[in-house]
Structure 1
Amino acid sequence: EKLANRDLVNDPRKIYTYVGLPNKKTLSDAENAFTVNNSYITYQKLGISESDPDREAKRERIIKFIHGFDSYDWDLNGITDEKRKASYINDSGQTVQVEWILGAFIHSKPLIIHYGDKSVIYAGANDGMLHAFDDSDGRELWAFIPPSLLSKLKDFESNNTLQIFVDGTPKAYIERKRDGSIQKVYIIFGLRRGGDRYLALDVTNYNAPKLLWEIAPPTSSPLLGHEVTTGFDRLGQTWSAPLIKKVASGNGSKVVAFFAGGYDTCNDPNMSCGSTQKGNALYAIDIENGSLLWSFSNADMKFSIPSDITALDTNNDGNVDRLYVGDLGGQLWRFDIKNLDNIGEWQGKRIFRANQSSSEKRKIFYPPDVSFESDYEWVYFGTGDRENPKQETGTASFPTQNRLYAIKDRNPSTPLTEGNLVDVTSDILQKPNPTPEDINLQRQTLNNLNTSSGWFITLENKGEKTTASPVIFGGIVYYTTFTPSYPTEGDICFLGEGTARVYALQYKTGNAAFNFDLENDTEERKIIYKSDRSMIIGAGIPSQVVIAVVKGNVVGYVGVGGGIFSPEMGSKKNIIPLYWRRVF
């Protein structure tokens, strides 16, 4: 709305790129302005052929379109110097056109940085740009087009094709002075579906952003000469949000960014992969220059790793020393991080395999959550093909059913399998009115849970899959799932093409944590059994459960179907901070 109401002629947008001049990496330099009058923005950079007689006119149309003008006359009214419009159907069923400048924000989650005098929101969009907005009034401060995307902007000429550009989530490294004021701010982001690059900007001065570096695999196209490519041969689409953490270095610490190798489009629906996929690696880089510090891949790491990474500080010294991540072959990986002076001692290995044969297709798209026991860690994660959400698993054509997993990580010498876990799908421990046989089975199950390496639950609804990371809080682990094709017996008020559920499970047993299903209760007592493990919360793909403390009370939130659902939480007690410390 702010851009729609903005006078684009008298109050033009500040849109930048990087044209490749080594001494001109401040994006607000005139040479990097994405304007018609900047001769450094050539038609060649925009991917227009030398032989095209309309090349200069096309160049101008592209630039004006990105600034918000309807230079392609999408509304067919013959006017190309007006603002772009978008159409939608209102509550009366009428098609309405409104001025609409911004592209879609699909997977890029907003990043808010508080500078003292101002708070700035950074987010990527599918209009080709990373945007910076003033948090106080929503005004766009500036936008940045990654240089590798310049040649794709011409694809906007087709009005009926979804374009993917800056689709990744930005992450920040913030260094503050003793008085709390800003010393340094870097943001690092990938392109996700938009490409195979990571970029870093110095936004210490939010009005004068600088390009720090850009990472690309050596086979990427186009390569413009300024990219860091050495060591990134396995990099796929850059889905894994950078994890910026301190690691031990000598007698101190060094800030490092970790990310997984990313996604290979061979995993898309109706595609097939070879024996080894792109993205089958883990990387650690220097955030100052993007240079590779460490990478890991081996013969067992054959599958793409689009997931974010989970990090632990197991000895509470302020430095990361453990990482977990899953891959699209259903494998869970553990990495032990030592001092940078002994980087050769950094180790990685599989600790669990969800698939025992090539016919099983369980995929891990999201990072696990972890809880600590005295001599091991619980690692929680789920499976599901996020890029094929309508896939109906558990059918003759695709028999694999997805699972919810809880693994005890005792640093196994060989990968665990489901044979090392207890199948608690039936929820025998909470069976009401158990028979003597049931009681014996309950005792056996409890013993198995104590001696095994964890538990799992099969998602029995046809096509059900996890679509976000689990969250553990107060002894309860929360998962969210999506099932395609909303059931006919569901509430007709829910719209969409699938069912969203939230699961709340006791973290050691997988038992139902709450009395979600009131229909199985009796007049005499509440019954908590298998059907109480989950509840339907709406239609569409749900978000992760987000935990917040509001006025001392614990509140959970799940985004679903354009709204917010608040599931029951395990702790109703007031939470009072005991201490705090600055991480960066």
Structure 2
Amino acid sequence: MIYTVDNSNSLIEFTVSNLANFQSFLGTDVSEFPACLINGNTINYTNLVNYIRGQDIPGCRSRKVNSSGDVWKLADIIYSSPKIAYYKDQNGKLIHGVIFTASNDGMLHAFEAGKVESLTGSYVAKLTGTNLGKELWAFIPKHALPYLRYLADPNYCHLYIHDLAPYLINVDYDNDGTQEIVLIGGLRLGGGCSCSGTNCVNPPPDTCKNNSSCVGLSEYYALDVTDINNPKLLWEFTNPNLGFTYSGPAYIKRKDSAGNWKYFVLFASGPTSYDGYTSQNLHIFVLDLTTGNLLLDKDLGQNFSNSFGGRLFNNGLDVNEDGQTDYVFLGYSRKVGNATAKGGVLKIWTGDTNPNNWDFDETLLSFANNPVVAPIVAGKCFNKWFLYFGTGRYFYKTDDDQSQNALYGVPFLCDENNNCPTGTINPVHAATQNLACQNIADKTQGAWMIDLDLGNTIYLKERNISDPSISNNIVFFTTTQPTADLCGFGGQTRAWALNCATGDPAFSQRCPGFTV
């Protein structure tokens, strides 16, 4: 079954019989449709729906993959790393898993994953269940609908339509005593933006005549997938200042004075062009998780002009471990000059149930010529909180104008009430200075950084554009150096396993008391 959104913003099956409920979202300008979807001067919406559902339509881009006439239905999956949700019975026993991923056919796909029987005795782990890999259903967001026509064009090359990794949240948002599974999705570089100028990708004009009724914008959405056979659309979100939905969500939960939980999602505005730039100020949006109501649209002003937020995809930091989110950390990229990008890290204190009372620290960390677009990961390091991140970006072939990039480990010293001391960052593994062991325990001296490779005629500068992680006092990074050959592809990658407190190789014994 394939779902989409109708004129009343409800889920409906994407079928020919339901065309009247979503046809206007597919486009009305005959010149924007390939010839295979036109009869005379009339758009053949039936052929479009059937093509998207997997039929091979004569004259359209062929779906056949062999001489037997078998068709290929699934489009490319680029950024949307699959996520798995686990479904249990009322006794907590695992029934099966479901894999969610988005592809550039415009759909979020749900696939049966079965369940894993773990190692026991002499037996090996194995995947069990029926219909493994079967697609259970798919969902086409409303703002992806205007782009489906281009998939049928015989000259189609590639178009981002639905490319954000899904994010799963387990939460009892309706207070019924049972946790629901909420999926936050988005289009990433799919859709268009409400902006003008050179750094702007706009939606098709036949579905976006004005901002108030525009269809075809980059969007976020929330689905309740607790009942896997009956998904529910909770909301869809767009905004003229949103840009591309690049950041993904941060999930925030707070408890009010009466003990009632409040649940929020936070997004940052994204770039408005495929090369990772924007002419807009950086905006922070906070929504009610359940309703999608916009509670805060924070314009960070001229200090963040031509800026967009890096990736989030986290639950923030609960610094005193009382179950409530205290902070969210956001990297950003700001265009300066023709193509140079600077950036830094924002600290957002979320210690109130009213987002209008949250504090936005714009000066936590800033870099003159280094953007931060990958997530900032907060983790315990020898029982102290640290922030881990790296600098760099890569949106187009020659995206190399930033200064030398680096990896960072920074102690986070603030309490749950936003009381924060200050400190310094020390270079490590550099010719000039090493982090002294006696400084590690000093709250104001324990930060470290590692310079990355400057590049050469073969490779561009080394950069961090993937998610760091931390486990058992080891922090992991993956850095990349794209090829410098304009006609080449690929590059080289390094995997890092570092002592979380010192930045030394993971199993270095240099600093007693801080060894893994």
After TM superposition, is the score higher than 0.5?
A: yes
Equivalences for 1:123-522 in 2 at 5 Å?
A: 123-136=101-114, 137-158=132-153, 159-175=155-171, 184-195=180-191, 196-217=218-239, 219=240, 234-266=241-273, 268=275, 273-274=278-279, 276-277=280-281, 280-299=282-301, 300-302=303-305, 303-308=307-312, 310=314, 311-329=316-334, 330-340=343-353, 343-356=355-368, 360=369, 362-372=370-380, 377-388=385-396, 391=399, 393=400, 398=401, 400-411=403-414, 420-426=424-430, 445-446=436-437, 450=442, 451-452=444-445, 454-462=447-455, 463-485=461-483, 497-514=490-507
Residue 67 (structure 1) aligns with? 53
How far has the Cα of 1:115 moved from its partner?
A: 2.8
Alpha-carbon separation, structure 1, partners of 2:190 and 2:183: 18
1:458-500: CA deviation from partner (whole Å, max 9, x where unpaired): 112411111212222222221110112399xxxxxxx962111
Q: Do 1:260 and 1:307's aligned partners in 2 also have CA atoms closer than 8 Å?
A: no
Return the letter of the residue paired with 2:190.
Answer: G
Shift in alpha-carbon separation, 1:205–1:471, aligned structure 2, 3 A? closer
Alpha-carbon separation, structure 2, partners of 1:476 and 1:374: 10
Return the letter of the residue paired with 1:250.
Answer: S
Equivalences for 1:567-582 in 2 at 5 Å?
A: none
Alpha-carbon separation, structure 2, partners of 1:113 and 1:509: 36
Shift in alpha-carbon separation, 1:175–1:346, aligned structure 2, 3 A? closer
Alpha-carbon separation, structure 1, partners of 2:232 and 2:392: 39
- What TM-score, normalized to structure 1? 0.65
Alpha-carbon separation, structure 2, partners of 1:170 and 1:41: 26
Which has the larger Rg? 1
Return the letter of the residue paired with 2:46.
Answer: E
1:159-208: CA deviation from partner (whole Å, max 9, x where unpaired): 4321222211222343579xx99663332211111132111223333222
Return the letter of the residue paired with 2:7.
Answer: G
Return the letter of the residue paired with 1:283.
Answer: F
Alpha-carbon separation, structure 2, partners of 1:336 and 1:374: 24
SS at match of 2:311: coil
Equivalences for 1:526-541 in 2 at 5 Å?
A: none
Return the letter of the residue paired with 2:24.
Answer: Q
How far has the Cα of 1:114 moved from its partner?
A: 2.6
Alpha-carbon separation, structure 1, partners of 2:398 and 2:375: 21
Pair 1:85 & 2:64 matched? yes
SS at match of 1:252: coil
Alpha-carbon separation, structure 2, partners of 1:198 and 1:42: 19
Return the letter of the residue paired with 1:400.
Answer: S
SS at match of 1:44: helix
- What TM-score, normalized to structure 2? 0.73
Which of 18, 21, 25 in structure 1 is aligned with 2:5?
18
How far has the Cα of 1:107 moved from its partner?
A: 1.5
Q: Do 1:130 and 1:145's aligned partners in 2 also have CA atoms closer than 8 Å?
A: yes
Compare 259-268 and 458-467 and name the one that shifted more.
259-268
Alpha-carbon separation, structure 2, partners of 1:405 and 1:113: 32
Q: Do 1:469 and 1:479's aligned partners in 2 also have CA atoms closer than 8 Å?
A: yes
Return the letter of the residue paired with 2:430.
Answer: S
Alpha-carbon separation, structure 1, partners of 2:222 and 2:98: 17
Calculate percent identity across the aligned residue pairs: 28
Q: Do 1:212 and 1:289's aligned partners in 2 also have CA atoms closer than 8 Å?
A: yes
Return the letter of the residue paired with 1:466.
Answer: N
Structure 1 spans left out of the alignment, 5+ residues: 1-13, 77-83, 88-94, 220-233, 429-440, 488-494, 516-526, 529-569, 572-584
Alpha-carbon separation, structure 2, partners of 1:475 and 1:301: 34
